[in-house]
Structures are given as structure tokens and as C-alpha cells.
Structure 1
Amino acid sequence: MTPSFFDRDAVAVAEALIGATLELDGIGGVIVETEAYRRDEPASHSYKGQTLRNSAMFGPAGHVYVYRSYGLHWCLNFVCEAGSAVLIRAMEPRTGIETMRLRRGTSVDRLLCAGPGRLCQALAVTKEHDARSLFSAPFRVTAAHEVVEVCQGRRIGISKAIDLPWRFGALGSSYLSRGFPELIARSALIDRGTFPS
């Protein structure tokens, strides 16, 4: 992947990331759920402008924005166009599973990375990773090159702009943070090979 993959509309990036591989220090798996946040909508942290907390969202595309949700857990986002980002909501574990189990305190693999807080705990993501590049260690993101069936629905865990269908998931995955009961918009076959690599 290159910065051009991320330097575009966050909704397009969120969909294209389904099936991509994410690793941090060699531990990771396949991204199965994402949410898009644009600068011009009230659920986005950048909606009211740049602050110390959200400054990474206004930095280079292809960097990381990390914040703490409700003072409890970290959330990992990939920066897209200025002021927009994609929240990585869930991942299917593939490498370093034993380490993830220790970090999470569970042997139930389905729950290791099902949700943004769990994912960050499994990967040991902290504020120290904020504003870091996805194109150098400790991160490694690799685009999927096979056809992935994607479902789309409303974002969850927010109180504003709740009707926007900007949550994407790998259809049928058992590693999602939550199902897609409404399946808004459509389920589509997305050829990952057509996106910038």
C-alpha cells in the first residue's frame, strides 16, 4: 500500500480495507470490520476543528490516530483525507495468537479482536502509536488481493449521525464486533485488486 490508497474519501477506504492484513510488531490478522468518519459530520472527532487530541487526523494520510474511548480503552484509526479517518473495529487473528490470548486474558479466539478496544489490547496499541506511519515499523498493512464479500450498515456506539451507513464488514465473519442485522445499502463483491496498492 502507498499513501494514495489512504489519501481519499474515508468511506471508500473503510470498504477497501476489509480483507486487508494488519500487523503490529508481527502480531495481527485480517481486518473484518471498519467504520468511516468524515470531517464534515458530527460524529467525527474532527468536526469542530483541530485540537491537540485529534491533531493526527489532520496529518498525513496513511498515519495512525489513536484515542481513548470513554476513558477505558484505546481505539485505532487510519488517517485518510485531512480530518477524516477509518476506525478499525475488528480483525480475524492470524499471527501471534498466543500473545494476543495473554494480553486479552482469554482463550476464545473469536473475542480477541472483536471490537476496537479488544483489538487494541490484543495488539498492544497505546497513545504512543498516535501519529505513527503505517508504512514503517512497527506497523505493516497489506492489501487483500482476492474478492471479498462486504456488508454495509449503520455505525455503532455513537449518538450523532447514527443513520449514516458507514460501517463495513466481511460478510459471514464470526470475528465481527457485532452483526449487521439491517444490511443497509447492499452486500457487494469488491475486487481488491482494483484499488491502489
Structure 2
Amino acid sequence: MTTSGAPTRPRFKRSSPRKKSQLRSRRLAAGEAEAAGGPALARAPLPSPLEVDAVPRIGHALPREFFEVDALDLAPRLLGKLLRRDEVILRITEVEAYRPNDSACHGRFGITARTAPVFGPGGHAYVYLCYGLHMMLNIVADMEGVGAAVLIRSCSPVTGLETIQRRRGQQTEKPILLTGPGKVGQALGLSTDWSNHPLYTPGGLEVLDGPEPEAILVGPRVGIDYASPEHVAAPWRFAIAGTPWISAPKNTLWPR
């Protein structure tokens, strides 16, 4: 609402002498940095909040023996571990286990040109194309010849956010960026050529040690209605509790 008459002069809050002194000190420091050939403090880029806490905790590549266990044991152990390809590092936040004699596992078809990596050594990648669109990353579990793997369902970004966004075609930092197995494969720039790649060797695509989650959620796997009832209901889906980087549905998960 406005009133007639002379316009009222705007009031500005005065800065305290102490605050003025602090601002003056910052400007002087910035000028000194530029004079010395360094960047001004005001222009120094701030680290991404996604990277600040995670980068110092990146560990070494996990050994092959880490993966040579039952898929149901490997799946929760992978939560909090890191996937690295070039400058992109993702923290694994959600997985699903697929085991021998599992009516939802690709190993049920036996060894074919597509499924052969599932029967390979533990710690190798199994990447397959889903619906002709999505590259799905699995980590082979157990010993060679068993036919078991863990599907990487969701991750959170640690480094390489711009590359992730470009590959995904989404300029966002929200969980929609990486909550879903096809999104993870796209963010890492994977193709089926990565199948059989050893994830415990330096370079390329590798799994690194990372901080263990404080609590874990479990529930039935997603999108396996074709499987037998006992396997549809089996609580072989695992996720980090308290993180938003989990795919839908979330209401089928409960504390472990």
C-alpha cells in the first residue's frame, strides 16, 4: 500500500565499527594477494560441499579377496565404498544382491555371451544394457564359476560433479542425479565393454575403500516381479540409513 506525499527516504542499517574494520582487512588482504601474483581472496573458488568431507577419506583399492564372498555378504559391505573412474568418484549408497539359484539373477540363464562375466572371478565388473537404454553396473561376487553379483543401485557424488552432470545431462546436485542403477552407469560413462574389467587394479574403473555407514536399511529388491515369490520377497536390497541418495521405493526399506 502507498500513500500520497513526499517519498520516504530509505533507511540503511549502519555497519558497526568492528564490522567495517573486518571488511577493510579482507579488502587489504585481497589486494596484497593480487599484488603478489596470487588470486584475490574474493575470487578464490570455494570447494563444493559435496567434496569437502569425502575427499580426505578416500582409501586404497580393495583387494580381490574382498569380493570373493557370497553376494549376500558382499552387498552390505560395499555400502560406503567408492567407485572411481578418472576424475569421477562416487560413494555407493544402495545395492542389491543376486545369488546362485536365484530366479532373479542373470546367472539363471547359464553361461551365455551376455552373462559370462557373472560367472567370472569375484571383483570384476558385469555391465549389461537394460531396456536398450541403461548401462547397469554389477560387481561380481564369490569365486569363479559361481554366478553371483551385486547391482549398484544408487550413489552419491564425491568428486567430478561437473563431469557427472554433463554425462547425465542434468545441472543439479539433488539425489535425482544418481538414484537409480542406470544413472550410476551413465555418470561413470560405462558401456558393456567394461564387463570383465577387474575393479581391484589401478586405473580405469576401480573400487576404493571408504567410510563405513553407521546404520543400514534392508528390504526386497526392485523390479523383479518375474522371479519366484520367495525371491521377490527376499530382503536382499541394502542402503545407507539417513541418506537421501536412495532410489524409489523407499518405504519398503527398514532398519537392519
TM-score by length of 1: 0.89
What's the secondary structure of 2:147's corresponding residue?
coil
Aligned counterparts of 1:144 and 1:72: Cα–Cα separation in 2: 30
What's the secondary structure of 2:75's corresponding residue?
helix
Contact residue 218 and residue 235 of structure 2 kept, 8 A:
yes
Gaps in structure 1 of 5+ consecutive residues: 188-197
- Please report how far the alpha carbon of residue 143 of structure 1 lies from its aligned counterpart in structure 2 after TM superposition: 2.3
Is the aligned partner of 1:100 residue 2:164?
yes
- Please report how far the alpha carbon of residue 48 of structure 1 lies from its aligned counterpart in structure 2 after TM superposition: 2.9
Question: After TM superposition, which residue ranges in structure 1, 4 or more long, deviate above 3 angstroms?
Answer: none
* Letter of the 2:241 counterpart: L
* Letter of the 2:91 counterpart: V
Is the aligned partner of 1:128 residue 2:193?
yes
The structure with the largest strand share of the pair is 1
Contact residue 19 and residue 148 of structure 1 kept, 8 A:
no
Q: Which has the larger displacement, 175-184 or 62-71?
A: 175-184
Aligned counterparts of 2:195 and 2:252: Cα–Cα separation in 1: 33
Is the aligned partner of 1:162 residue 2:227?
no
Contact residue 152 and residue 180 of structure 1 kept, 8 A:
no
- Please report how far the alpha carbon of residue 56 of structure 1 lies from its aligned counterpart in structure 2 after TM superposition: 0.4
The structure with the largest helix share of the pair is 2
1:13-162 alignment, distance < 5 Å: 13-81=74-142, 82-109=146-173, 110-136=175-201, 137-159=203-225, 160=227, 161-162=231-232
Aligned length: 186
* Aligned-residue RMSD, C-alpha: 1.4
Residue identity over aligned pairs, in percent, reads 38
Aligned counterparts of 2:252 and 2:133: Cα–Cα separation in 1: 29
Which structure: larger Rg?
Answer: 2
With CA pairs under 8 Å and 6+ residues apart, which has the higher RCO, 1 or 2? 1
Contact residue 65 and residue 79 of structure 1 kept, 8 A:
yes
Aligned counterparts of 1:84 and 1:17: Cα–Cα separation in 2: 15
Which residue does the alignment assign to 2:20? none
TM-score by length of 2: 0.69
